Structure 1
Amino acid sequence: MELASTSASLGTYIVFPKPQLSFTSRSLYPSLFSVRNSFSKSLYLASKSQVRLHEFFHAAAVGNTSRVPYDSVEEHMTTAKHSGLKASNGITTSKEEETDKKDAAKSLDDQKMTRVCDKLIEVFMVDKPTPTDWRRLLAFSREWDSIRPHFYQQCQDRADTENDPGMKHKLLRLARKLKEVDEDVQRHEELLKVIRKSPSEISEIVAKRRKDFTQEFFVHLHAVAESYYDNPTEQNAVAKLGNMCLAAVQTYDTATESIEALNAAELKFQDIINSPSVDAACRKIDSLAEKNQLDSALVLMITKAWSAAKESTMTKDEVKDVLYHLYMTARGNLQRLVPKEIRILKYLLTIEDPEERMSALKDAFTPGEELEGKDVDCLYTTPEQLHTWIRTVVDAYHFSREGTLIREARDLMSPKIIQKLEELTKLVQDKFL
């Protein structure tokens, strides 16, 4: 069948579901947000594991570390608020106020702190947590800031007095590896404090510090939210903050990609304009289309140039003629990248006479050589394929799934057009299927 070529913009549209409690979401960044589905489950496990953690806490306190699973190590770093801070039971990691933390730290004399550090060293030596485990433990702990300098110093002191070369190496390696993770966590905590201080300025913070919003940062934020398993209000507040961070990062990246696309389009446009002749410029456009590099940003730039030139009285006719040829070439190439069923469908919708529409459908379903000319294209499809496209558009309209359509089909989402499409669907079903 024959139909006139019309302009259309290319691209796809993806709907990002709004995250709720879990701030880790799919998107343009799958690697950043791989923990989303486990968030609610993790919160449940975090609270359920408290009984096991008490068992570890007692074992560490009495020095029995012959069998300490990783979950128990996490207990040590998270449940002292149930046990209190005593000389015989190690450290506390309660969600108390900053003043309470300072008071607790002051109550520890050097001897008691040394004992705490020794027990942690023994636990880490037996359980051998991974760096990922350590990140989680440090995120859960609220007392690590007080213990940190004493722990590293105790590792060094024990290594200095250790006669066994193997044990000396293990102690130094433990301190070095944990410190590397600790420094990362401190950077994440510093960024989190900045965000908490000025939540209304998250967009500005992301713009200045986009490189700091890494996968590890979002995992850390996830762990921090988990640590408030007994405080739903604070947990939801942290999750909400994570949602805001995620949205700001997505917005920033989308804007950056748009700027990069415009910059790339401008370079292509300048290259086309600098061609020695109109034919050479048109060939460059054709070449870009063949390589799938003729994007909507470049076509928009050419369109705006032509629109501005034709309305200007200061532009020479020769320039207008050149820009017109470039515009028509770009439009034609862009149109040919649109699925042919959409192009056929849009043409059918322009036909009001029922008999003429039936004739056009017969032409569309009659196999033959497809020709794409300068002004008229001859395209063919099957009843099944056209029917599938029509149903996709109609279903998307009725179920509010406009975002699932390619952009070329979204302009069909109006009540009047949907009514015509439903009539067309029935016609194809009754006469051709």
Structure 2
Amino acid sequence: MQFLSIFSNSTALLAMDRRASNSSTAQVEKQAEVEVAEGYTITQFCDKIIDVFLNDKPLPKDWRKLLVFREEWNKYRESFYNQCRSRADREDDPSMRQKLVVLGKKVKKIDNEMERHAELLKEIEQNPTDINAVVARRRKDFTREFFRHLTLLSETYDSLEDRDAVARLSARCLSAVCAYDNTIENAETLDFAQAKFDDILNSPTLDVACDKIKSLAKSKELNSSLILLINSAWAAAKESTTMKNEVKDVMYHIYKATKSSLRSIAPKEIKLLKHLLNITDPEERFSALATAFSPGDKNTAKDPDALYTTPKELHKWIKIMLDAYHLNKEDTDIREAKQMTQPVVIQRLFILRETIEEEYLKQTPESEENSNTNEL
């Protein structure tokens, strides 16, 4: 087990002849006799954790890197806290007694925080297409610490594909949070969106309401403010225990119609980036990038299925994705950050950004100035 091996391979030494805890409950005594690893009872293993946290890894940021293994940690958490209290009660040295008491409280605080992060992540994973609705309902939980938790989780994976999946999820969450915050800050936009939403709700039939949403999408009036209101309304309706099912059904169909309309107006740059990132061969990717910037002259027939854009616009969307990635990274020194193995998608984004800056944006003084301004 990975969690067990972290502690068994630690440089902190366990006094194997330490007596088991004289717990007052039979349940804890029974647990103390259970061998959770070769040569370790659960009491001895908890002593090992305590010694590691006090001596080998005494910083809270190191504790987080170990407690991120939630499934394994949950098996030992209560025994750990019981052993902290038990050792503190038996300790003759006042200084060590205080260290044990403080350790238990500090670990408990971080543990509870990480449990909330894990619970939020679970809700997001259960609703992968409803992230905006989750943000609308639980904005206060999308903290800087939550995004750091996702970074820690990513670092536990050996597979670049798994790391890439977490990075993508982090970027989607951050994008939803930014859209929510930007909308809330713009009162005029929100008032306009509220008027549009009221008009949708006042439709004589559900079909008319859905047609209005489609019409707004076609006219590019289905903006982030209106989407936020619809997401929030559906989130509130879904969680309500007093709202009638008929009302919930109406809000659900409005929400689904909005999602369907959004797919039809997704920025072409996002679609293009997805296409480019899925190309594994660097030369083929470079060729596809050049094609996207060179649709041909008026005498050349364009490919109706191809995606075209400008270097400046694609560079903007790449920067948004890289900003999201960097905001999620653990606070550490620059040397450690450079040594971190990055997900495949991030590596390719860096290459695409550098290629655009070197081959396209530096062709004019104005473009070069914009490129330098946008450096990460």
Larger radius of gyration: 1
Same fold, TM exceeding 0.5? no
> Taking structure 2 as the reference length, what is the TM-score of the superposition?
0.43
Structure with more contact order per residue of length (Cα contacts < 8 Å, sep ≥ 6): 1
> Taking structure 1 as the reference length, what is the TM-score of the superposition?
0.37
